[in-house]
Amino acid sequence: MALLATLRRLNRVVALVAGGAVLLCALFILVEIVLRQLGHSLGGSDEISGYVMAGVTTWGFGFALVDRAHVRIDVVRGRLPAPGRVLFDLLALVALSAVAVLVAFRAWPVLARSIANASRANTVLETPLWIPQAIWFGGLVWFAVMGCLLAVVGAGLFLSSQFAEAEAAIGPPHEG
């Protein structure tokens, strides 16, 4: 399916950018270690690490979803015939999308509050909190959108009885 292929391509870019952020964060920590040995300090490497972790996590959620990497327990599902398995997959995806939408919905006030209060971290960097929180919130929205789009793709495949294709799109991680 064209939509699915597009989602995969997009999310691979997302994963690469997120991975790059992890790499940069490692570099930042290294610079901090070296400078400390020389008697200087940038300060704030742990604060930055926390922000990187939050951003990488939420944007990674969507990628892991499209890549079918989120953990599922297939004890019952694995014993069903193909249509039943796909129904389970759809149910799982609907539950996931509902949670993703709920979390994104509840995350907005956190960002809104930081913007309204012009909140700054209680650190020397005085990071305006809306910046890392906006990246974090964006990832949550992306995750919710991915969940809903995948549910549509999966439902389409199910209704047209393309069970093998459906499992390849929304089944558990690299099962059989």
Partner 1 sequence: MITAVAAGLIGLLALSIPVGVVLFLLGVGVSEFYSAFPLLRGLGQMVWSAMNSATLIAIPLFVLLGEILVRGGVAARTYSALDRWVSWLPGGLVHANIATATMFSATSGSSVATAATVATVAMPQAERLGYDPRLFSGAIAAGGTLGIMIPPSINLIVYGFLTETSIPQLFLAGLVPGLLLAVGFSAVTVLLCLWRPALGGERRSYGGAERLRALVELLPIILLFTAVVGSIYAGIATPTEAAAVGVAAAFLIAGAFGGVDLAMIREALVGTIRITAMIMLVVTGAAFLNFTLAAAGLGNELRAFMTGLGLEPLSTLLVIVAIYIVLGFFIETLSLMVVTIPIMVPIIVELGYDKVWFGILMIVLVEMALITPPVGLNLYVVQGARRSGSLREVMVGCIPYVLVMLVMVAALVAVPDLALVLNGR
Partner 2 sequence: EELSVVGSWSGLPLHKQYEAPYWTETLPDASGGDITVQLTTHDQMGLGLGDVFTLLGQGVYDVGMTVADYAVADAPELEGLDVPLVALTADKAKAMVDAARPMVEDIFHDRFNSEVLAIAPYPPQVVFCNADISGLDDLAGKKIRGSGRMTTKFLEALGAEGINVSFSEVPGALQRGVIDCAVTGAGSGYSAGWWEVSTHLLPIPLGGWDSVVTAMNLDKWNSLSSETQSLIKDTIKADFEDPAWASAQGALDNDIACLTGDGECASGEARSMTLVEATPEDMAKAREILESEVLPAWAERAGAEWATRWNDTVGKTVGVTVPVN
The single-letter DSSP state of residue 154 is H
Measured from the CB atom, the residue of 73 and 124 that comes closer to partner 2 is 124
Q: At what angle do helices 163-170 and 130-159 cross, to 10 degrees?
A: 170
Contact 103, 141 (CB under 8 A): no
CB of 138 to partner 2, least distance (A): 20
User: Closest separation between CB of residue 91 and partner 2, Å?
Assistant: 29
CA–CA–CA angle 92, 98, 102 (5° rounding): 145
CB-based contact 71:173 (threshold 8 Å): yes
Number of residues that bind partner 1 (CB under 8 A): 65
What does 120 bind: partner 2, partner 1, none (CB cut-off 5 to 8 Å by kind)?
partner 2
CA distance 32 to 99: 38
User: Could you give the string, one character per residue 4-43, with x where binding to partner 1 holds by CB under 8 A and - elsewhere?
Assistant: --------x--xx-xxx-xx-xxx-xx-xx---x------
Looking at beta carbons, which pairs linking 164-169 to residues 24 or more positions away fall under 8 Å? 164/82, 165/1, 166/86, 166/89, 167/82, 167/85, 167/86, 167/89, 169/1, 169/4
Query: Binding residues for partner 2, per CB under 8 A?
Result: 36, 39-41, 43-47, 109, 113, 117, 119-124, 126, 129
Query: Binding residues for partner 1, per CB under 8 A?
Result: 12, 15-16, 18-20, 22-23, 25-27, 29-30, 32-33, 37, 45-47, 49-54, 56-58, 60-61, 63-64, 67, 69-78, 88-89, 91-92, 95-96, 99, 102-103, 106-110, 132-133, 136, 140, 172-175
